[in-house]
Amino acid sequence: MERGYVYMLTNTYHTVLYTGVTSNLQKRIAEHRNKSFGGFSARYNLNIVVYFEELPNIVAAIEREKQIKRLSRHRKELIINRVNPSWENLL
């Protein structure tokens, strides 16, 4: 089984957070940046990767994504700030 990734994207002004899951992080981030599929991330210009986790498989990644999506904005910010306090683009 291939590894899974959970990631959070934001825009230039950090006004919106998006949480996603994938088995190929580089490819999926490129799709967001190219606005390949339109949707939420394209509408809000979410192209800065402020957080990601590598998990042993996609099932674990999906479960982690659900956990993160249930959190408040404040709790998501705490997760980001622990590993990326300056909210720099990680990829």
Residue 46 pLDDT: 96
Rg (alpha carbons) of the chain, rounded to whole number: 12
Distances (CA, A) of 28 to 19, 34, 90: 12, 10, 14
CATH topology of domain 4-83: GIY-YIG endonuclease (3.40.1440)
Q: What is the mean pLDDT of residues 74-80?
A: 98
Distances (CA, A) of 38 to 9, 31, 61: 15, 9, 23
Domain ranges for the chain, please list them. 4-83
Q: What is the mean pLDDT of residues 33-54?
A: 95
Residue with tokens 């957080």: 51
| Backbone phi, psi, residue 67, to 5° | -60, -45
Work out the pLDDT band at 41, boundaries 50, 70, 90. very high
